[in-house]
């Protein structure tokens, strides 16, 4: 065994391009690819992409069609499944699966507070990050597809932001697609970030109200934590400063199938008695920092609002500006008026670059991105209207993260797209349902139902 404490760890360039190994029922192969940072300059700087190929043990020697999985986010690496978890077992019945770590995520060339200073100052870092949107991700997919499939088109499964990328794929390179399957990820084709958040805040309020209806005792628990944070300066063990606004952002978990239950269990042991009086428990603080910290996915914080940038208008901290139009989210005011404290959802605020030690060094970079006025369109309405690729999409009714009305409008704009609108699942339905969501969407795309 190599002792990495004294030996030099090999760089990714020194590692083998492929390495295969087994988990229960599957064979996995690590794949690495080199692509241009800027696809408009193919001879310029390059970055590395990592992907994991997965095939069933019983089909490892077969010539199978490919399914490319595009993870939600932006800024998250692909799921690290063990064996045939979630939807993967259904996919492996007929596909080889490629789990791609989109540029900047997972084991691909990273983009975080440690690596971005290599680019230069905040302006240079922001310019670099303009290459980490859906259009670049799609061009990455097209760059690696010939090597993976031999040039054959593949089926793409896009979850959440991965669905946004899939709609961009249908706009930029539909010839690369055999079939497109989208779950919780039909974006508005033309909405500005302000439109997205004006639609989002009422949905967030409904999710919080539903949580309080399920767990009415949490109304007082949330109020008690908010009161404590307004009166005390709380710094979590990792250096995260837990303000009342930061605490409210725990509401982001409410968009998942287990989120309400997870939040309830988190709140039930928030306080412990101490010689100085009640204090937030170590267990509560430890779990909260795991939920709130962006250390594992800083790219999400940096580029989240830019996924809605498509013209000369800056995003300009849209979620923060639009929140001012919804004073019911003011925690201090809710406490004064003896109302339940509303939590927030999938929103990025400038103060998060002050309270989170993983983001503090990137505040100016984020400001540069928020001020940009040269975003290019991500979707081609004319090409989508003439689409010939079989497409099916699950639209989760009252999805906390992606507006249902926006999704259905886009569905009508993509020729031939079939929708399955359901309130049986939350935003993570493709994972939580096991094989059911993927199986139904494949059947819809194939006109089997």
Cβ neighbours of residue 196 closer than 8 Å, sequence gap 6 or more: 188, 308, 318, 403, 406
In order, the DSSP letters of 152-182 are --EEEEEETHHHHHHHHHHHH-GGGEEEEEE
Please state, in angstroms and rounded to a whole number, the distance separating the CA atoms of residues 89 and 57: 12
Catalytic residue among 160, 249, 260, 306: 160
Q: Say if CB 177 and CB 169 are below 8 A apart.
A: yes
| Selection from 418, 446, 430 nearest residue 91 by Cα | 430
Bridge partner residues of 35 (DSSP): 47
Catalytic residue among 297, 304, 406, 427: 427
Distances, alpha carbon 76 to alpha carbons 99, 107, 113, 288, in Å: 12, 10, 16, 19
pLDDT of residue 17: 53
Which sign, positive or negative, has the C-alpha torsion 348, 189, 146, 43?
A: negative
Examine the residue annotation and report whether 160 is marked as an active-site residue of this protein. yes
Give me the tens of pLDDT residue by residue for the chain, a chain 449 residues long: 333 333 333 344 444 456 899 999 999 999 999 999 999 999 999 999 999 999 999 999 999 999 999 999 999 999 999 999 999 999 999 999 999 999 999 999 999 999 999 999 999 999 999 999 999 999 999 999 999 999 999 999 999 999 999 999 999 999 999 999 999 999 999 999 999 999 999 999 999 999 999 999 999 999 999 999 999 999 999 999 999 999 999 999 999 999 999 999 999 999 999 999 999 999 999 999 999 999 999 999 999 999 999 999 999 999 999 999 999 999 999 999 999 999 999 999 999 999 999 999 999 999 999 999 999 999 999 999 999 999 999 999 999 999 999 999 999 999 999 999 999 999 999 999 999 999 999 999 999 99
Check residue 219 and report its DSSP letter. Answer: H
**SS3 (DSSP) at 134:** helix
Task: Convert 25-34 to b/e letters by CB count within 10 Å (16 or more is b).
Answer: ebbbbbbbbe
pLDDT tens across 377-398, in order?
A: 999 999 999 999 999 999 999 9
| Selection from 167, 174, 170 nearest residue 189 by Cα | 167
* 154: phi then psi, degrees, rounded to nearest 5: -125, 165
Q: Judge residue 199's burial from the number of C-beta atoms within 10 Å of its C-beta, 0-12 exposed, 13-18 middle, 19 or more buried.
A: middle
Torsion-angle region of residue 106: left (phi > 0), alpha (psi -120 to 50) or beta? Answer: left
Please state, in angstroms and rounded to a whole number, the distance separating the CA atoms of residues 156 and 97: 10
Cβ neighbours of residue 448 closer than 8 Å, sequence gap 6 or more: 442
Q: Say if CB 100 and CB 121 are below 8 A apart.
A: no
pLDDT of residue 6: 32
Bridge partner residues of 18 (DSSP): 31
Q: Say if CB 347 and CB 200 are below 8 A apart.
A: yes
Radius of gyration of the chain (CA): 22
CA 201 vs. chain centroid, Å, equals 18
Length of the chain, in residues? 449
Please state, in angstroms and rounded to a whole number, the distance separating the CA atoms of residues 177 and 134: 16
Sketch out the chain's domains with CATH numbers.
12-190+379-445 (3.40.50.1820), 193-371 (no CATH)
Examine the residue annotation and report whether 427 is marked as an active-site residue of this protein. yes
Q: Judge residue 49's burial from the number of C-beta atoms within 10 Å of its C-beta, 0-12 exposed, 13-18 middle, 19 or more buried.
A: buried
Examine the residue annotation and report whether 194 is marked as an active-site residue of this protein. no
Please state, in angstroms and rounded to a whole number, the distance separating the CA atoms of residues 308 and 306: 5
């Amino acid at each position: 065994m190599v002792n990495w404490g004294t030996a030099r760890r090999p760089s990714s360039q020194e590692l083998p391009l492929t390495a295969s190994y087994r988990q229960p029922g599957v064979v996995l192969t690590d794949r690495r690819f080199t692509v241009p940072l800027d696809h408009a300059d193919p001879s310029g700087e390059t970055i590395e992409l990592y992907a994991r190929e997965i095939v069933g043990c019983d089909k490892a020697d077969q010539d199978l069609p490919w399914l490319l999985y595009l993870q939600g986010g932006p800024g998250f690496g692909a799921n690290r499944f063990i064996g045939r978890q979630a939807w993967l077992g259904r996919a492996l019945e007929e596909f080889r699966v490629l789990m791609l770590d989109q540029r900047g995520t997972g084991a691909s060339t990273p983009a975080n507070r440690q690596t971005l200073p290599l680019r230069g100052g905040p302006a240079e870092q922001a310019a670099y990050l303009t290459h980490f949107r859906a259009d670049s991700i799609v061009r990455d997919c097209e760059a690696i597809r010939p090597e993976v499939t031999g040039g054959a088109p593949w089926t793409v499964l896009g979850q959440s932001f991965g669905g946004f990328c899939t709609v961009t794929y249908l706009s930029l390179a539909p010839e690369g697609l055999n079939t497109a399957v989208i779950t919780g990820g039909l974006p508005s084709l033309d909405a500005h970030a302000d439109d997205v958040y004006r639609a989002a805040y009422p949905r967030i309020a409904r999710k919080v109200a539903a949580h309080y209806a399920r767990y009415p005792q949490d109304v007082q628990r949330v109020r008690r934590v908010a009161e404590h944070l307004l009166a005390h300066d709380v710094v979590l063990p990792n250096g995260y400063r837990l303000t009342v606004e930061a605490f409210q952002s725990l509401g982001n978990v409410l968009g998942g199938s287990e989120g309400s239950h997870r939040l309830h269990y988190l709140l039930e042991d928030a306080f412990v008695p101490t010689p100085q009086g009640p204090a937030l428990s170590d267990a509560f603080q430890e779990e909260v920092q795991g939920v709130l910290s962006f250390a594992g996915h800083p790219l999400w914080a940096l580029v989240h609002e830019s996924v809605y940038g498509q013209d000369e208008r800056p995003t300009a901290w849209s979620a923060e500006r639009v929140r001012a139009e919804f004073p019911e989210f003011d925690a201090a005011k809710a406490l004064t008026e003896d109302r339940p404290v509303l939590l927030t959802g999938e929103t990025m605020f400038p103060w998060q670059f002050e309270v989170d030690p993983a983001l503090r060094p990137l505040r100016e970079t984020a400001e540069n991105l928020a001020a940009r006025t040269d975003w290019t369109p991500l979707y081609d309405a004319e090409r989508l209207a003439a689409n010939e690729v079989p497409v099916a999409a699950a639209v989760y009714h009252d999805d906390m993260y992606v507006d249902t009305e926006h999704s259905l409008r886009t569905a009508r704009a993509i020729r031939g797209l079939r929708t399955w609108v359901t309130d049986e699942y939350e935003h993570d339905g493709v994972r939580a349902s096991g094989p059911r969501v993927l199986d139904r969407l494949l059947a819809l795309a194939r006109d089997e139902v």
